[in-house]
A and B are shown apart, each in its own frame.
Chain A
């Protein structure tokens, strides 16, 4: 802190103004904010589709939209949410902001590549948005062949191209994080002194670089089959449609872990700071992230239990799917053990952490139902599956994302938001979420199939509950938009460490200077070194 007293504090937000200083920036913190704008936009586009879906399903007959429009709605909801919100949200926004700061570096290893990946992401997103405006696409976000390659008359190619392009953004971001974590750590920042968030981001990046190229080539094969009649998947041309499903899920199942692993990393940080304790069993949690990344690549076959897979393959995929639950459970147990006898806080980020742990546990346990072949056959393609993966993706990823955003918002902007409103909206989101998706478990178990715009009258009560929950959830998502924007101008100044947390990001100013630290930090302590200062609280 050698700067002179009179000049205003220099930080990354006032280091240059104007459009160019943002659109050509190579500062990871500014790129994180560019991503924040992008993912928020696509979140609300995907959310608008969800609103229409739930409105249609409020009544049994298909009365609001036609069946064809409905197909387009759930396809676009899935595409927007999965590829343009859930996958990039935590890594590209929170990860981009924090990875260099948490390891004590000035920036990511490849800042130009980082900016490039934001542009790629936006171009891919706009392509997909074009496909949406030009009439939509009706294949479902899974693009199953041969419907997608031979039958569908909608905008399959522009949508697929948008996803293909955005894939490169995932790959480049993952590559950047891997290189940065390997090569840019500050002196003394050993692997086992890193915050657990970084282990999660590292594991996520491994999946990004290993999985995304496979979906890229799969999309190209679909496009080639559609455009040139290359018969890779269409039986009429000599191909095999189940092969498409294998290739698709080889990426898209690990993609679930791309979505949830970063959220788990956020929760580790929130729990440690909220309990003023080191995370219980640090090494177990760290290696659990890697275990999820590795085993997650071996379970894709559980999406094909009813698609003509051999019994032996199904058995092995079933066993592996049970095994992948173990490292996830390790994390849940360790977070709970961290809280045990801790001075647990009830501040907003911690509310999201509690929400995450509860909802992720329900999502994970119902995942075991689906790993068991007998039950899976009964509930395949029903609302049970919908409820399960929304508990993981919305209950897990979005809770983690919002928790992280609230925790690091003061660091990113230098301002505090209204804590009271934030707590209220966290509770609204939790209630709204459960009301939306819990009835869907029952609906699915009773036999309501997914992807239909009409249903028999006996399912109406549960569907109305779900639609009512969705409207509460929607309000819960809008309130943070308002008070977070408000805080940018009117929020109280945060100071460098409003939570009294440890970690390198809390040692620099809020907002941080352009190169993050005045001098490169030298790390001599372990992660979550709450140590002696906390002893008093516990005793």
Chain B
């Protein structure tokens, strides 16, 4: 946006004519201080995460309704999931949350190299999760557990097992999409850190990316027991 004519703003010291400092470059025109800017962007991310809770909440509602209606079919279908790969993925994802938290800390204290390293590790762990997930998807495809004309399951539970797998693909698919977006954000943040845009004074982009990453992890923390673990002993 073209800058407005330089008004004489008596209350805003940062509009002085001297060379702008790094903090002034990072400050968007609508804010009075970096602190206000950080507060606003962080609140914005929290509100966004609330919308995400409601988004996944709709799916969890559908899941709960059908799980309580057809418990046996869901237990039988759930038994077909690969609990080993699921557990490994859970560990991978929790570890990525740790490295993300370390990245935020590194940004806060202004350690650029550590920040880049932790972001890259987080990205790699996220990609590993997606890789393992695609292996699981491939197995389901081979075993004819993808809903549609080719779906196969024991006759007694056929319809509702198909419902379970519809939910499985919808829930893990949308979660995976969020992971892909998360990896994209990490890539972007690595570029910013590389260029030196992120400083100890201006690290809120890393902080709110971290909030997003942790949220996506938490979704998985709910998905894993709901899809893989519940009712497992019934079969």
Contacts and interface: CB of A to CB of B under 8 A. Distances in A.
A175 B163 contact: no
B43 A183 contact: yes
A243 B66 CA distance: 10
Given A224-B166, A237-B163, A519-B10, A184 B30 contact: yes
**Residue of A15, A109, A111, A178 most packed against chain B (CB within 10 A):** A109
Contacts of B36: 183-184
A448 interface: no
Given A513-B4, A520-B11, A231 B147 contact: yes
B124 to A, nearest CB: 29
A209 B159 CA distance: 35
B162 interface: yes
**Residue of B52, B62, B174 most packed against chain A (CB within 10 A):** B62
Contacts of B62: 221, 232, 243, 247
Contacts of A421: none
Interface in B78-111: none
B54 interface: yes
A183 B40 contact: yes
Nearest to A113: B44
A518 interface: yes
Interface string A7-37: 0001000011000010011110000000000
B65 interface: yes
A238 B59 CA distance: 16
Given A209-B47, A229-B147, A237 B54 contact: no
Interface string A167-195: 00001000110111011100000000000
A178 B7 contact: no
B48 A175 contact: yes
Contacts, number: 141
Nearest to B48: A175
B55 interface: yes
A218 interface: yes
B24 interface: no
Nearest to B1: A26
A347 to B, nearest CB: 33
A212 B51 contact: yes
A240 interface: yes
A210 B54 contact: yes
Interface in A193-240: 209-214, 216-218, 220-221, 224, 228-232, 237-240
Contact of B5 (A10, A175, A216, A239): A10
B226 to A, nearest CB: 16
B37 to A, nearest CB: 9
Nearest to B7: A518
B8 interface: yes
A515 interface: yes
B48 A111 contact: no
Interface stretch (A100-108, A264-272, A283-291, A430-438): A100-108
B29 A107 contact: yes
Interface residues of B, number: 49
Contacts of B8: 2
Contacts of B30: 100, 105-109, 111, 184
A213 B162 contact: no
Interface in A348-378: none
Interface string B16-47: 00000000000011111000100111011001
A514 interface: yes
B43 A229 contact: no
A27 B51 contact: no
Given A171-B51, A209-B51, A179 B159 contact: no
Interface in B47-61: 47-48, 50-52, 54-59, 61
B9 interface: yes
B196 interface: no
B169 interface: yes
Contacts of A243: 62, 65
Interface in B145-203: 147-149, 159-160, 162-163, 166-167, 169-170, 174
Given A21-B2, A105-B30, A218-B58, A239 B47 contact: no
A518 B61 CA distance: 51
Contacts of B148: 228-229
A179 B44 CA distance: 6
A110 interface: yes
B5 A217 contact: no
Nearest to A182: B43
A52 B45 CA distance: 45
B51 A25 contact: no
B25 to A, nearest CB: 16
Contacts of A230: 147, 166, 169-170
A175 B65 contact: no
Contact of A232 (B11, B160, B166, B174): B166
Given A212-B51, A229-B147, A230-B166, A175 B11 contact: no
A308 to B, nearest CB: 14
A221 B170 contact: yes
Contact of B50 (A210, A231, A520): A210
A212 B55 CA distance: 8
B15 to A, nearest CB: 11
A301 B55 CA distance: 20
A100 to B, nearest CB: 8
**Residue of B36, B44, B48, B50 most packed against chain A (CB within 10 A):** B44
Nearest to A209: B51
25 contacts: A10-B4, A15-B2, A25-B1, A109-B41, A110-B41, A183-B39, A184-B40, A209-B47, A209-B50, A209-B51, A211-B54, A213-B51, A213-B54, A216-B58, A217-B58, A220-B170, A221-B59, A224-B170, A230-B147, A238-B70, A238-B160, A238-B162, A239-B66, A520-B11, A520-B32
Interface of B: 1-2, 4-5, 7-11, 28-32, 36, 39-41, 43-44, 47-48, 50-52, 54-59, 61-62, 65-66, 69-70, 147-149, 159-160, 162-163, 166-167, 169-170, 174
Given A217-B55, A230-B170, 13 more contacts: A108-B30, A109-B41, A175-B51, A179-B43, A182-B40, A184-B40, A210-B54, A212-B51, A228-B147, A232-B163, A239-B66, A247-B62, A515-B4
Closest 3 CB pairs of A and B: A230-B166, A217-B58, A213-B55
Interface of A: 2, 10, 15-16, 21, 24-27, 100, 105-111, 113, 171, 175-176, 178-180, 182-184, 209-214, 216-218, 220-221, 224, 228-232, 237-240, 243, 247, 513-515, 518-520
